[in-house]
């Protein structure tokens, strides 16, 4: 399928969910639910749907519609998938966000108990492994003198993508070839470290806007992208929660899901306003025109539809990162989003 056709499918899929979700009747008053919902975004343009939800108070509006006007909505930033997973299991946060890698990892570890699954996706974004080392043109050029930063070694979506790319580059069974070079670091810190030229960090497997900012520097080149590693567009980030939260708080969960659908619709119809929200929420110093350019790239598309996630699931099970084998992407996403054409 061509890129333009794929994009139309993404938008159509999200639109179908929006029409179905928002057409459902509001819940009547029922038994009391949780009094506060803590939602955790991370840094980066991929998390724009969450920023819109926060700025426009979409969750609060849906809670009121569902008979829960007094439920408090709080926001707490996390810096990576590992931290998000820990916060979710501890009960300190109720809805967290992260890459497909952390989602699959926590789905696997909690299967049969907390039963964590995805609520819906934020985007299909190509993640770039960029380098400042002039000697590195392919993965084979990295040496023991290099260090590759990413949000979380082993479990972040960047970590898994690097393993998939390594197997393609070095051959079967070589997925861990560069693992010893990876270090955990937040995207802002890793960007600053790599661009300083004075750090051991010579590579950064990152995400928008950081990857595009880095490429504005003539010293930086892209080594590989996730779309190249997976042979097509793939989901970057999702929102996820426990089955307990969903089962014990059905109206609260519905409010979060419907707000996510609304946020995607808002981004598609109000691009300039969405960009302003991103700048405000992340205190970004990027020019609106630069952000608009990123959002117009074929390597970045905000969509609720899971795409190519099964390639990650199959790979992670094959190499032993997952004990449980997923038969479908619907195994690790809640039924609310099952009507879309995911993969």
Output the tens digit of pLDDT for each of the chain's 343 residues: 343 443 344 444 445 444 444 444 444 456 789 999 999 988 889 999 999 999 999 999 999 999 999 999 999 877 666 777 888 888 889 999 988 988 999 999 999 999 999 999 999 999 999 999 999 999 999 999 999 999 889 878 899 999 999 999 999 999 999 999 999 998 889 999 999 999 999 999 999 889 999 999 999 999 999 999 999 999 999 999 999 999 999 999 999 999 999 999 999 999 999 999 999 999 999 999 999 999 999 999 999 999 999 999 999 999 999 999 999 999 999 999 999 999 9
Q: Is residue 320 part of a domain?
A: yes
Is 64 inside any structural domain? yes
In this structure, the answer to whether residues 93 and 203 fall within a common structural domain is no
Full residue range of the structural domain in which residue 148 is found: 128-230
Question: Are the C-beta atoms of residues 128 and 206 closer than 8 Å to each other?
Answer: yes
Classify residue 305: in a domain, yes or no: yes
Q: In this structure, what CATH number is given to the domain that contains residue 175? A: 3.40.190.10
7: its two tokens: 């994009």
CA–CA separation, 163 vs 166, rounded Å?
Answer: 5
Render 228-255 in DSSP notation, one character per residue: HHHTS--B-EEEEE-HHHHHH-HHHHHH
If you compute the radius of gyration of the chain from its CA atoms, what whole number of angstroms results?
Answer: 19
CA–CA separation, 51 vs 114, rounded Å? Answer: 27
Give the tokens for residue 17.
Answer: 């969910």
Q: Are 118 and 143 in contact (CB under 8 A)?
A: no
Residues 6+ apart with CB under 8 A from 172: none
Could you tell me if 204 and 149 are in contact, meaning their C-beta atoms sit under 8 angstroms apart? yes
Exposure b/e, 167-197, CB count within 10 A at least 16 = b: bbeeeeeebebbeebbebbbbeebbebbbee
pLDDT for 80 equals 64
Number of domains the chain contains: 2
Paired residues of 107 in beta bridges? none
Residues forming a β-bridge with 224: 129
Q: Where are the beta strands (DSSP E) in 147-305?
A: 147-150, 182-184, 201-205, 221-225, 237-241, 300-301
Do 69 and 134 have their domain in common? Answer: no
What are the strands, taking DSSP E only, across the chain?
Answer: 36-40, 72-75, 95-99, 117-121, 124-125, 128-131, 147-150, 182-184, 201-205, 221-225, 237-241, 300-301
Which among 199, 230, 261 is the end of a domain? 230
Q: At which residue do the structure tokens 């969903």 appear? A: 246
Question: Is residue 193 situated within a structural domain?
Answer: yes
**Rounded Cα gap, residues 203 and 61, in angstroms:** 43
With respect to residue 342, please indicate whether it lies within any of the assigned structural domains. Answer: no
Pair of tokens at residue 220: 């930086």
Based on the domain organization, do 258 and 118 belong to the same domain? yes
**188 and 147 in a common domain:** yes
Report how far residue 167's alpha carbon sits from residue 163's, in angstroms, rounded to the nearest whole number: 6
Tell me: do 135 and 204 sit in the same domain: yes
Residue at a domain's end among 230, 263, 298: 230
Distance CA 59, CA 252 (A): 9
- Backbone region of residue 197 per phi and psi (left: phi > 0; alpha: psi in -120 to 50; beta: other values): left
Among 165, 199, 230, which residue terminates a domain?
A: 230
Report pTM: 0.85
Which residues are 149's β-sheet partners?
183, 204
Say whether both 140 and 221 belong to one domain: yes
Give Dmax (Cα) for the chain: 64
């Amino acid at each position: 399928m061509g890129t333009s056709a794929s994009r139309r499918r993404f938008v159509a899929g999200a639109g179908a969910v929006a029409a179905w979700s928002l057409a459902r009747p509001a819940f009547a008053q029922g038994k009391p639910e949780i009094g506060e919902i803590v939602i955790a975004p991370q840094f980066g343009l991929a998390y724009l749907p969450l920023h819109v939800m926060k700025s426009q108070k979409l969750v609060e509006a849906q809670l009121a519609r569902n008979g829960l006007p007094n439920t408090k909505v709080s926001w707490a930033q996390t810096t990576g998938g590992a931290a998000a997973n820990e916060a979710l299991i501890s009960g300190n946060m109720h809805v967290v966000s992260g890459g497909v890698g952390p989602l699959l990892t926590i789905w696997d570890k909690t299967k049969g108990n907390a039963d964590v699954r995805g609520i819906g996706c934020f985007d299909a974004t190509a993640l770039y492994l960029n380098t400042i080392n002039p000697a590195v043109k392919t993965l084979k050029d990295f040496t023991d003198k290099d260090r590759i930063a990413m949000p979380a070694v082993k479990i972040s979506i960047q970590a898994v993508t690097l393993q998939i790319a390594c197997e393609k580059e070095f051959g079967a069974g070589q997925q861990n070839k560069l693992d010893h070079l990876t270090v955990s670091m937040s995207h802002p810190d890793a960007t600053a470290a790599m661009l300083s030229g004075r750090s051991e960090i010579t590579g950064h497997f990152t995400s928008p806007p950081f990857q595009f900012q880095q490429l504005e520097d003539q010293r930086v080149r892209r080594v590989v992208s996730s779309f190249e590693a997976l042979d097509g567009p793939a989901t970057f980030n999702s929102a996820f929660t426990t089955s307990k939260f969903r089962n014990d708080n059905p109206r609260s969960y519905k409010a979060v899901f419907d707000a996510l659908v609304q946020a995607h619709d808002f981004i598609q119809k109000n691009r300039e306003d969405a960009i302003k929200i991103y700048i405000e929420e992340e205190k970004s110093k990027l020019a609106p025109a630069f952000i608009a350019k990123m959002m117009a790239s074929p390597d970045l598309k905000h969509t609720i539809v899971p795409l190519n996630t099964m390639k990650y699931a199959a790979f992670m099970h094959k190499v032993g990162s997952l004990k449980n084998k997923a038969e479908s992407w619907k195994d690790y996403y809640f039924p609310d989003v099952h009507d879309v054409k995911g993969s």
